[in-house]
Amino acid sequence: MHDYTQHYVDGAWVPGEGVVKDVISPSTEEPVSQIKVATRAEVDRAVKAARKAFASFSQTSVEERLALFGRIIEEYKKRVPDFGRAMAEEMGAPISFASSAQALSALGHFATTLKTLQTFEWRERIGSAEVVYEPIGVVGMITPWNWPLNQIALKVAPALAAGDTMILKPSEECPGCAHILAEVMHAAGVPAGVFNLVQGDGPTTGEAISAHPDIDMVSFTGSTRAGILIAKAAADTVKRVHTELGGKAANVVLPGADLAAVLPPTITGVLANSGQSCIAPTRVLVHKDDVAAATQVVKTIVESAAVGDPLAEGPHLGPVVNKAQFDKIQGLIQSAIDEGATLETGGTGLPTNVNRGYYIRPTVFTGVTPDMRIANEEVFGPVATLMTYDDVDQAVEIANATPYGLSATISGDPAEAAKIAPRLRAGLVTINSWAPSEQQAPFGGYKQSGNGREGGLHGLKEFMEVKTVIGVPA
């Protein structure tokens, strides 16, 4: 049992005062870690530490921050195996995947932000005015469990580069990697009060962060439902609310595409991380003349995906994060069956090779129609749904017929795909792939998928204020 009942505040570990909460391993269904839920008073102490540290840290030079980033990156590299094991144990990402895709993506964001900081222009001239970029202040960060380190790094790195101070509340489902990151920050010599970690849940700790009058910005990644609650809690203090929320990505498979070539790299996105990615392209839209061939290709890919112990090395899938997610996915699979979709492979219940844990059978449905629950709700599990269209105009209409707009995928000829990309109402459009491959490029959504951008120059600017000064000599 890992003890994460301490918080990291003002450069030191302090005992938690709130209620104890067990973290349940999704592979064994037994407690693996323990936290204490930070109270409003504990959040207040962390905010005071961050506010005090802001006075000096906001005035540090770019050279000082670059040196700090270099030390953080070196300390981070030492802990990659620890990060991987923590994610394998707590949220079920197989350790091979957790130590590579999960842990190294976060390291990449620190490195990318360092490069961005090296060339960032803090001042620009617009006519007679000077426009200045300045740190926004104290930032509250609330992060999810599915890509825990990745999402933490997308907030912590630009905030540090901007000169902000921060309070991080990671998901209570996966607290270990944030605790280890606090140890990295301490070892790297991050000044006291600049980075603060409070463990906790949404209703208690997250709400206290969102509503706190001395927090200047809240950056949240998670469900749209939770994002709405955070925005409401933050409204009374008119702080900046930066969100990256849910998704329901379509994969528009172009007519006549070479299915054997273009589907494997995109269907991978349905399976990766056991389907627990907000950009997973689960709605596979196929021309009516190609549906039989596409079904066979997708079914073969999905049936080759094995599930297994997340602490074992290998390319297998792990469980989903908890019982609530397991039950939700089971319910959505059953709803598709009840509403008349054709189950091609997978289905409800545990895979045959396990007898406990929150494992999902990799599943494919055909005959899915836009009115079905599974076509509208975010599944967050390894479930692909094939839908048909008559022409590309209808495919675009179906792809856009969702309240979400985080990402979309197009499979087929890249030149033809490029013509369609502007018509898709999504913040990220990938062609013959599913994940962002350029960390300098901005990431974020349209519609109910959020209102912020993360990564590179755009992500750095999100954590800054913009000041106009009139009368400065040219």
Confirm whether 177 is a catalytic residue.
Answer: no
DSSP string, 325-358: HHHHHHHHHHHHHHTT-EEEE--SS--TT-SSSS
Q: Categorise residue 223: left if φ over 0, alpha if ψ from -120 to 50, beta otherwise.
A: beta
Residue 154 sits at the vertex; the CA angle it makes with 22 and 26, to the nearest 5 degrees, is: 25
- Annotated catalytic residue within 75, 90, 173, 244: 244
CB 311 within 8 A of CB 95: yes
User: Do residues 220 and 243 lie in contact, with contact meaning Cβ atoms separated by under 8 Å?
Assistant: yes
Provide the 3-class DSSP secondary structure of residue 242: strand
Catalytic residue among 42, 89, 278, 344: 278
- CA-closest candidate to residue 70, choices 187, 182, 213: 187
- With beta carbons less than 8 A apart as the criterion, state whether 107 and 77 touch: yes
Q: Find out whether 279 and 247 touch, Cβ atoms under 8 Å.
A: yes
The rounded distance, in Å, linking the Cα atoms of 341 and 399 is: 19
| Annotation says 244 is catalytic | yes
Rounded to a whole number of angstroms, the distance between the first and last alpha carbons of the chain is 62
Please report where in the chains the tokens 């960032």 appear, as a residue: 120
Task: Give the span between the Cα atoms of 82 and 76, in whole angstroms.
Answer: 10
Residue located via tokens 């049992």: 1
User: CA-CA distance, 370 to 356, in Å (whole number)?
Assistant: 34
Strand partners, 242: 219
Catalytic residues: 244, 278
